[in-house]
Amino acid sequence: MASTAFDTHLAAPHGEHHHPSLQHQFDSLEQQKESSTLGMWMFLVTEIMFFGALFTAYVIYRNLFHGVFATASHHLDVTMGAINTAVLIGSSLTMALSIRAAQLNRRKAIVLFLLLTIALGGTFLVIKGFEYAHKFRDHLVPGPHFAPEDPAIQAVADKAQVFFSLYFIMTGIHALHMIIGIGLLLWLAIAAWRGKFDSTYYTPLECTGLYWHFVDIVWIFLFPLLYLIGAHAR
């Protein structure tokens, strides 16, 4: 009998060990949360270095071809860019509200705010798709078919292609991160609907929130750097 009691004590020294979301390699949900959050921050550091290299390339070429970059920037749609900026700021709010809903044990609200975040992310991608379509229509895609109608761009076509190359690379990679984020949000919404998250466990929401906010912040930098060069001359 003593042995049985001892074994039971080892199996569940704390009630928290019975939580279905606690992985076997962790002693507590708090330890699991700290480990997950640290892992996400380490991942985001690598993302900062990755985007940092792209921003560095942008700064170098902008200093070399500042006038060309300003002229080429006039062919980006500032209105669409501004709308997308507002859309992403709104998505950060709904993402934060989904975490707050988990803290308050509001399952339906978690799902609602996650779906709103997905909808806003999808809206961003649709608008970006229209922007890309306009660039293809106006022959502003770098490569053999680059044939802008603007004489000012034609005169400096090679240098202008550097700007549009950076535009497509930086916004394209950002859009890819958005698509990945939407996939994660869909998984979270399904899990939330099944009651996986509550006030005792919502670590996946917080970690995905960090990722989503990071992607939003990247766009906050991309918008003025790409769209607002020489805005006073518009």
Mind listing the pLDDT tens digit for each residue in 28-61?
657 666 777 888 999 999 999 999 999 999 999 9
Q: 5 or 191: whose pLDDT is higher?
A: 191
How far apart CA 98 and CA 212 sit, in angstroms, is 12
Tokens of 96: 């934060």
Q: What pLDDT, in 10s, does the model give residues 58-102?
A: 999 999 998 999 999 999 999 999 999 999 999 999 999 999 999
Q: Which two tokens stand for residue 45?
A: 């550091």
Phi/psi of residue 199, nearest 5 degrees? -65, -15
Q: What is the mean pLDDT of the chain?
A: 87
Closest CA relative to residue 51, chosen from 230, 220, 227, 228: 220
Contact between residue 69 and residue 105 where contact means Cβ atoms under 8 Å apart:
no
Ranking 8-22, 67-81, 145-159 by mean pLDDT, the lowest is 8-22
Distance (Å) of CA 6 to CA 9, 18, 83: 5, 17, 63
pLDDT at residue 138 tops 50: yes
Q: Where are the alpha helices (DSSP H) in the chain?
A: 2-11, 29-64, 66-73, 78-103, 107-137, 151-154, 157-193, 203-222
Phi, psi of 39 (to 5 degrees): -60, -40
Answer whether residue 5 shows pLDDT above 60: no
When pLDDT is cut at 50, 70 and 90, the band that residue 180 belongs to is very high
Q: Which fold has domain 30-233?
A: Four Helix Bundle (Hemerythrin (Met), subunit A) (1.20.120)
Give me the amino acid identity at 229.
I
Please state, as a whole number, how many other Cβ atoms lie within 10 Å of the Cβ of residue 116.
18
- Domain ranges in the chain are 30-233
- pTM comes to 0.85
Least confident of 18-22, 92-96, 106-110, 163-167: 18-22
pLDDT at 12: 42
Residue pair 110/101 in contact by the 8 Å Cβ criterion: yes
**138 within 8 A of 130, measured Cβ to Cβ:** no
